[in-house]
Chain A
């Protein structure tokens, strides 16, 4: 029998990572800046726990996150607990229970870490930071649009200049399929084909819907074309109401933020499947991951709600680099309070016997306080 070498102590489970200086600080600052924008718009912060009882966490809107949720048994109560994979259901629970008596509309915001059971080759992270807002108890185009407007302002506040909101109607396809009364197997194939925008398969499995669905599929993209396609799709009932709401949301956004880049994808229905109305996905050109997503859903007692979750990890990868805080070396005993007040990070020397310049260089300080003067330390 051969002995395998011991695993490296640095090796982490797949999809998890350490954030080092300066990224860890950049991340915290970015989350702080997103939350500051949310707070400035009247969203009050809540902080749900990491773990909850499984039946609570996965009830209602949370059911869709069940297969992505890590479980463990509570040795105390012997009940199963789940580690949140998404914070929206937790905030919805808080709104429906502890804050049930607070007048509506209720605006809440949150930031925290989530864990997912599975990652993919393309999105390898299993620990995902979220920072988001929920607007509970309002069902209107103005409420839907507010998610996009506040989200766009928050993204701009972290220095992101080029991003776009893709507006979707996740319930539209299921409504159309329900109305067409397709057999289960055919419906599964059609849903997969629609998800992958496989026009050939949509035409093959679409039956009476093939033409409408193909038109809508090709309409994904610029807002005007998509709205025109929805208008000519002869929708009725709930589907027509969805399309009308989408047009109204676009109207509000066009009026309030004419420069905001919008696209529409009428047949997309991705993400955790708890959405019931207009939804959004945030993209940045050249970045192949979503920067955020959200949309309308129903709270546990059927209360209308909408929300937007931004993903700080992805946002930081898309945002311009931020200069790290300048570090100033302080010889032992020197007072750095004034420098810290100006925004410098001061690194106090502990050993009086080393030369300030050498110590500054070793401790990665670009500046040193020498004889009361700030001196730039040349790199090697």
Chain B
């Protein structure tokens, strides 16, 4: 028996490099999925019917185009799948792109869907009662640790992050943090929990994102999809 282990055994094998393999596009579960469905219809992509059914256990969905498959993952994971090249294309909120800031991701198209904002909010009673310029540090509850840290670092404030995955609105009242940095669509959840929005960090919409290497190595195919979505938006 000779040892025939390969160098490649050290690394997971990427997707089949064969150009005939379908291009994988990652789409986010939840809030934006329905709007994605509308967009696909405008771009003439017919996905398996249960794509929009969040109860379906299927994760990978064929489309009527044999060269395109969809995978449905959590919004934050869309960026990770595309950054690693597991998916060549994706639909991803600008909030997620700001948070991870993956250099491997290009965002060539603003899809204009899922509009909302990343904002700072604090309890209504204390909102605006203090001058943030005097702070050395502030405790922030958020699911965007990098965005919050960057935002406060730019003004010379060290953000101490309490990383939560949901229900940020509870954090100030339960003493976890003084304020929160969160995604705000209408502000209704903030208001219902006694919070007031004090600052907008960024307005966000969803983007069509592309893996850098995929664009470099399959420019015709990937460029074709970008053009198709651009045409769908213009239509």
- In Å, the complex CA distance between A17 and B37 comes to 45
Chain B residue with the shortest CB-CB distance to A321: B6
B218–A285 contact, CB under 8 A?
yes
- What 0/1 readout, one digit per residue, does chain A (32-62) give for beta carbons within 8 Å of chain B? 0000000000000000000000000000000
A69-77, A110-118, A191-199: which lies at the interface: A191-199
A324–B109 contact, CB under 8 A?
no
Contact partners of B6 in chain A: CB under 8 A: 23, 321
* Contact of B174 with A by CB under 8 A: no
Chain A residue with the shortest CB-CB distance to B211: A288
Q: If the complex has contacts A166-B216, A200-B207, A220-B215, are A122 and B109 also in contact, measured as CB distance less than 8 A?
A: no
B19–A285 contact, CB under 8 A?
yes
- In Å, the complex CA distance between A282 and B231 comes to 31
Chain B residue with the shortest CB-CB distance to A345: B2
A326–B2 contact, CB under 8 A?
yes
Tell me the B1-24 residues at the A interface (CB within 8 Å). Answer: 1-8, 10-11, 14-19
- What 0/1 readout, one digit per residue, does chain B (15-43) give for beta carbons within 8 Å of chain A? 11111000000000000000000000000
Contact partners of A218 in chain B: CB under 8 A: 108
* Contact of B107 with A by CB under 8 A: yes
Contact partners of A166 in chain B: CB under 8 A: 216
Q: State how many residues of chain A have any CB contact under 8 Å with chain B.
A: 48
Q: Using C-beta atoms within 8 Å of the partner chain, give the interface range for chain B.
A: 35 or more
- In Å, the complex CA distance between A316 and B7 comes to 7
A361–B1 contact, CB under 8 A?
yes
Per DSSP, are chain A's interface residues mostly helix, strand or loop, or mixed?
A: loop
Which of A22, A197, A289 has the largest count of B CB atoms less than 10 A from its CB?
A197
Contact partners of B1 in chain A: CB under 8 A: 361, 364, 366, 377, 379-380
Among B2, B19, B210, the residue within 8 A (CB) of A327 is: B2
Among A22, A164, A287, the residue within 8 A (CB) of B14 is: A287
- In Å, the complex CA distance between A22 and B3 comes to 8
- In Å, the complex CA distance between A317 and B85 comes to 15
Chain A nearest CB from B109 CB (Å) reads 6
Tell me the A282-328 residues at the B interface (CB within 8 Å). Answer: 283-289, 316-317, 321, 323-324, 326-327
- In Å, the complex CA distance between A138 and B213 comes to 31
A324–B17 contact, CB under 8 A?
no
Chain A residue with the shortest CB-CB distance to B5: A22
* Contact of A346 with B by CB under 8 A: no
* Contact of B77 with A by CB under 8 A: no
- In Å, the complex CA distance between A265 and B216 comes to 8
* Contact of B106 with A by CB under 8 A: yes
Among B15, B18, B108, the residue within 8 A (CB) of A199 is: B108
* Contact of A90 with B by CB under 8 A: no
Among A23, A221, A289, A326, the residue within 8 A (CB) of B7 is: A23
* Contact of B61 with A by CB under 8 A: no
* Contact of A88 with B by CB under 8 A: no
- 11 A-B pairs whose Cβ atoms sit less than 8 Å apart in the complex: A23-B6, A196-B97, A196-B103, A199-B110, A200-B205, A221-B220, A265-B216, A286-B16, A317-B10, A366-B2, A380-B1
Q: Which 4 A-B pairs have the closest CB atoms?
A: A286-B17, A221-B219, A200-B110, A288-B85
**Other CB < 8 Å A-B pairs besides A199-B110, A288-B213, A324-B3, 4 of them?**
A23-B6, A122-B104, A166-B216, A286-B16
B binding-site residues for A, Cβ under 8 Å: 1-8, 10-11, 14-19, 83-85, 97, 102-110, 205, 207, 210-211, 213, 215-220, 223
